[in-house]
Amino acid sequence: MSSDSVKVPKCPAGWVRTEHRAPQIHPLLRTALLLGANRMPLNRMPLAQARREAVSRLCPPTVRRAAIAATADVQLPGPVSLLPGRFYIPAGGDDGTVIVFLHGGGFVLGGVETHDAVCRSLCEASGTLVFSVGYRLAPEHKFPAGLQDCLAAIRWVVEGRHALSRRTERLFLAGDSAGGNLASVAAMRLAEDKDAEILGQLLLYPMIDHVSSGHGSYSVFADGYGLTKDMLDWYWSCYLPDAATGSRSDVSPLRASNLSGMPSTFLATAEFDVLRDEGLAFASRLAQAGVNVEHIHYDNMNHGFAMWQGLVGEASDVFRRASVWMRICRRS
């Protein structure tokens, strides 16, 4: 049939014809999920084994480790014990701003080592000093222990009581998953703090509402996409002394009655993520409260995609976009 004989229906005046495509997960992530389908879930392992396994699963040797000027490991005084931390020093110096990074892992897993590649890429893309905090983990240390550690570490950085020997008054708070929760709660707590200026919060697929909320994505992506609903239940049960604590705003920032005091926010969400809907809802509520929000939704990614440095383009893209946002925040 010739092209002249093809009849294309015309839309009525004032209409727009739109082609819709269903989101499809990135082929590399689909392959990784299939390969890992038969692996024992971390929440079914003894805790010590799960933590060892998390290092190889969250930061495998195949990921790219960005070239930066240097790193410096430190021990800092926490509320009850010394805490591990690591500075990531950018090439070409810095402008006195620090990004304090709080790692994910459901408040139970993870640490400085699991998020090394992420922090290196954030440092490289932004040209900004990054400080990664190793806070106490649940279930040995339930809420609010980890949060107290993060607040102490942030104040330690602000006061300049570290190897770089200078006071820092301009901060970004950043975190992924459970670390995004801690970063956001810390931003709420420090909003009235006159000793430091929180320029913004950088949240990657944050765990921002207690699982009792029943968001739709909990069932849509309950299994088969990396972070499962079963693991989410386990994380929360480990972290909190009781389920009723989940309604507090310093546990579930999405439930805060007033978000107008929050700093400018960069928030990245992923389509194939059990936490998708609470992230989308948080972006919407912040914007409604008058907070400047840069929300990027990746419709072919799953939870944790920023860990895949050098393997999927979106992992570097999110930090490139965040870096542009940070430059705008510095100027405003």
Q: Residue 232 has which token pair?
A: 């989410």
Q: Residue 202 has which token pair?
A: 């950088």
| Cα 41 from chain centroid (whole Å) | 21
SS3 of 24-74? CCCHHHHHHHHHCCCCCCHHHCCHHHHHHHHHHHHCCCCCCCCCCCEEEEE
Q: Which of 153, 139, 53 is nearest to 103 (CA)?
A: 153
What element of type H or E holds 323? helix 313-331
Q: Say whether 112 sits in a helix, a strand or coil.
A: coil
Instruction: Measure the CA–CA gap between 184 and 188, rounded to whole angstroms.
Output: 6
Instruction: Measure the CA–CA gap between 76 and 138, rounded to whole angstroms.
Output: 20
Ordered DSSP codes for 69-99 = SEEEEEEEE-SSSEEEEEEEEPTT---SEEE
Instruction: Measure the CA–CA gap between 12 and 1, rounded to whole angstroms.
Output: 26
Question: Cα-Cα-Cα-Cα dihedral of 20, 22, 28, 32, to 10°?
Answer: 170
Which residue is associated with the tokens 């799960």?
50
Q: Which residues are catalytic?
A: 177, 273, 303
β-pairing verdict for 129-133 and 82-89? antiparallel
Break the chain down into helix, strand, coil percent, rounded to 5. 40, 20, 45
